[in-house]
Amino acid sequence: MISWRTHNPGNPSATRDHGLVAVLLLLVVFTLQMLHHAHAETTAPQVKVSQVKALEAKALETNGQTEVADPAATSPMVEKLSLIQQAIDAKRSTMRDLNTRLKKVDDLTEKLEIEQQLDRYRGEIATLQQSFNQIALRGITPDALAEQPDLQINWENEFKQISLPLLSTLKEITEKPRQIDSLRREIDRKQSQLRLIERALESLASLRAKTLPAETSKLIDQLETDWQQRKTETARALDLAQYKLNSLESEGTDWLSSASESLTSFLKGRGLTLLLALVAALIVWLAARAGLMLYTRMRKISNRESRYRQAPLVLYSYRILVAFLIVLAVLMVFYARGDLLFLTLAVIVLIGIALSLRQTLPRYAAELRLLLGVGPVRERERILFDGVPLRVESLSIYAVLHNPLLDGIVRVPLHEMNAHISRPASKESWFPSSKDDYVVLDDGSYGKVLRQTVELVELMVLDSRVQLSTQRYLEKVVRNLTLEGFGIAAKFGIDYQHQAICLDTVPALLRQGIVAHFDDRGIKDDIRDILVEFSEAGSSSLDYRIYMILDGRAANAFYRVQRMVQQACVQVCNQQGWVIPFTQVTVHHAADTSGNS
């Protein structure tokens, strides 16, 4: 419900993620409610102590019909109960006989054997009695009426109490599948036991076919009777387990009606709880939003971005407080509605968030320092990021970096800003060039800047496009001809026969000629200054140094103006009749070894 603003509002990925999580939670809760409702229709209902008289009627319900309404369905149940009671009576009769024998037997080994048989019969009778009660009461046990003992107050038990509603719901939902699986495993075990008993009886039958002493034959008869009884009991237990399995598998309701009833129950129960929780959260958010708007109006700050920068502590404290109040409102709704399942899920989520904060809290603390303006990087200051000077435009969920002379911005996760240090920006240049400037690089390349971004700089060099990474471009020595103008130096020489006028007349005439020639070409106004001085007496000429400073408008004629200086000097020499010397080379002949020159 809290709006976290970034400098990229066109990217709604975070909003979509939050909406997807909310939809998934609703689907999970609805599925649990639907399964729980379907399970409640197919399993025995829970009863209260004050409704003991209604237990019998509820225990006989099956698929909405009672036992009296369907006599055909009562016959198998009555038959099973009768068979179980007969088995119990038979075992009790056998136990009485064994007790009688136990009193008459003196042999210690035989007494021990009879006592073991009695213990086995007692366990079997208890199992049969439990089966009798389960069939008669349709799964209802006295444990449902027993009061739970008081638990000791400690952390472990308190956590169990908190998670009990969730575990109970999951246990109830999976009770029928677990019963079916248990019965199937019981049937497989009984069938395996029957096969073993058959093998044992076959072994005894093969022994009876042989001639045996009287005592041995008596023991064999006794073993055969005992194993035959085991077979009968195992077959009865198998038949009973198969009957229970068939009863559970036959219970069921129409899927469409069950889904409709589950949906209705969900909307009236947990669906309404969720709706109330959402309404409470929305009310809290709207009230907090109204309070923030009132606060900003009282401060009479109309610019939204500037007011946040002036009071970052208020803004982020407001967000934390709103989040806390929304969570508190949702928990109060769950508590007032008495929905322990939602309350348990909310507590588990909060505990998970608290545990995760143990690892992320230092990072969030560092980010908070950045947001409050007390970290190593601050807004509106200069930072060197990947070798490129950038200005910190804003610090929020992401840090937005921008260079005023470069196209594009850099959006960096806020936590990465802790690895950098910013400083106040002085009146220094943000970049050595701008678009459409003419530059000369340290390798002599001359070109026009076509485009420069935070990633690359594109130049037009010798009518070809050249791209350099911005970092590599900054590593070069860049001479910007357009920014504040440029200067050129030239050298020119005349013959020694003009030595008499070389110091005064020649420099003045050369300067006038250069200015006139530039005027003819239409770039006289671009000349800021010009200097013509006698430089040196060379080996074959009187040399002059010419230095000109031109405005940046003439940067597109950088090489052309150098040629124009030489052209103007030659033109003055032609007008004045001055001789331009050439380089003289003196050739010395070596003496011939024969004496001939």
By CB atoms closer than 10 A (0-12, 13-18, 19+), residue 353 is exposed
- Non-local (6+) Cβ contacts of 49 within 8 A are 145
Question: CA–CA separation, 229 vs 122, rounded Å?
Answer: 15
Which pTM value belongs to this model?
0.48
Contact 537, 494 (CB under 8 A): no
Closest to 572 in 3D by CA, of 489, 506, 526: 506
Identify how many contiguous H helices and E strands the chain contains and give both numbers: 15, 12
What pLDDT does 258 receive?
56
By CB atoms closer than 10 A (0-12, 13-18, 19+), residue 149 is exposed
- CATH code given to domain 486-576: 3.30.70.100
Contact 439, 479 (CB under 8 A): yes
Backbone angles phi, psi at 209, to 5 degrees: -70, -15
3-state secondary structure of 39: helix
What pLDDT does 12 receive?
39
3-state secondary structure of 486: strand
**In the chain, helix, strand, coil percent, each to 5?**
60, 15, 25
Question: CA–CA separation, 538 vs 530, rounded Å?
Answer: 23
Strand partners, 536: 543
The per-residue b/e assignment along 295-310, b for 16 or more CB within 10 angstroms, e otherwise, is ebeeeeeeeeeebbee
The dihedral of CA 539, 532, 443, 557: what is its sign? negative
Question: CA–CA separation, 322 vs 274, rounded Å?
Answer: 19
Question: CA–CA separation, 499 vs 482, rounded Å?
Answer: 40
**Start-to-end C-alpha separation, the chain:** 110
Question: CA–CA separation, 550 vs 552, rounded Å?
Answer: 7
The per-residue b/e assignment along 548-585, b for 16 or more CB within 10 angstroms, e otherwise, is bebebebbebbeebeebbeebbeebbeeeebeebeeee
In order of 189, 244, 339, 355, 423, the CA distances from 45 in angstroms are 30, 18, 20, 39, 73
CB-hemisphere CA count at 13 Å for 431? 25
In order of 482, 531, 562, the CA distances from 558 in angstroms are 10, 18, 7
Taking each helix axis from N to C terminus, what angle separates 270-299 and 340-371, rounded to the nearest 10 degrees?
Answer: 30
What pLDDT does 436 receive?
92
Instruction: Return the number of other C-beta atoms located less than 10 Å from residue 18's C-beta.
Output: 12
Token pair, residue 486, equals 């440029």
Question: CA–CA separation, 110 vs 118, rounded Å?
Answer: 12
DSSP character string of 453-475:
BSSEEEEEETTEEEEEEHHHHHH
Question: CA–CA separation, 110 vs 219, rounded Å?
Answer: 13
The alpha carbon of residue 518 and the mean position of all alpha carbons in its chain are separated, in whole angstroms, by 68
Closest to 480 in 3D by CA, of 431, 414, 544, 529: 431
Length of the chain: 597
Question: CA–CA separation, 201 vs 223, rounded Å?
Answer: 9
Give, for 479, the enclosing helix (H) or strand (E): strand 479-480
Question: CA–CA separation, 284 vs 332, rounded Å?
Answer: 13
Instruction: Return the number of other C-beta atoms located less than 10 Å from residue 432's C-beta.
Output: 19
Contact 369, 363 (CB under 8 A): no
Ranges of H-type helices in 43-70? 55-59
Token pair, residue 183, equals 């019965």
Per-residue confidence of the chain (597 residues) as pLDDT tens digits? Answer: 333 333 343 443 444 444 444 444 444 444 455 444 444 444 433 333 333 333 333 333 333 333 333 444 446 777 888 888 888 888 888 888 888 888 888 777 788 888 888 888 888 898 888 888 877 776 666 665 655 555 455 656 656 665 666 566 666 666 777 788 888 888 999 899 888 988 888 887 887 777 667 777 777 788 888 888 888 888 888 888 888 888 777 765 555 565 566 667 766 777 788 888 899 999 999 998 888 788 777 765 544 444 444 455 667 778 888 888 999 998 898 888 887 777 878 888 888 888 877 777 788 788 888 887 788 998 889 999 988 999 999 887 789 999 999 999 999 988 889 889 999 988 888 999 999 999 999 888 899 999 999 999 999 998 899 999 999 999 998 999 998 889 999 999 999 999 999 999 999 999 999 999 999 988 899 999 999 999 999 888 999 999 999 999 999 999 999 999 999 999 999 999 999 988 654 455 554 444 443
- Non-local (6+) Cβ contacts of 269 within 8 A are 33, 339
